[in-house]
Amino acid sequence: MELQGQTAAEEAAHHKVITIIVNAEQKTVPSREVSYTEVVALAYPILPSPDTTFTVTYRNAEGPNKEGSLVNGQSVKVKEEGTIFNVRATGKS
């Protein structure tokens, strides 16, 4: 399908999504900057309980901090494909 002179491939490239892995499942995000809150929401669309805290670790990220952990309020720059996150519910804060 062409839109005003753009091919479907050009249109798709303009609205590119980034593929990441969260708890061994492929997920897509609209930006290369991914926050702790976004990753937790992808891992747990329905929270186990309101007072649950989470441990978020990542590897194969972009830049000098290729692996590490995230806490609430932090974010990390991800690669277009291949950044891996592990999210575990860890109980009350």
The residue extents of the domains of the chain are: 8-92
Q: Which CATH architecture has domain 8-92?
A: Roll (3.10)
pLDDT digits 0-9 by tens, 55-79: 999 999 998 889 999 999 999 999 9
Q: What pTM, to 2 d.p., does this model score?
A: 0.80
CA-to-CA distance for 37 and 86, rounded, in angstroms?
13
The DSSP secondary structure of 52-63, one letter per residue, reads EEEEEEEES-SS
> How many Å apart are CA 92 and CA 15, to the nearest integer?
38
**Hey, how many other C-beta atoms are within 10 angstroms of the C-beta on 6?**
13
Helix, strand or coil, per DSSP, at residue 7: coil
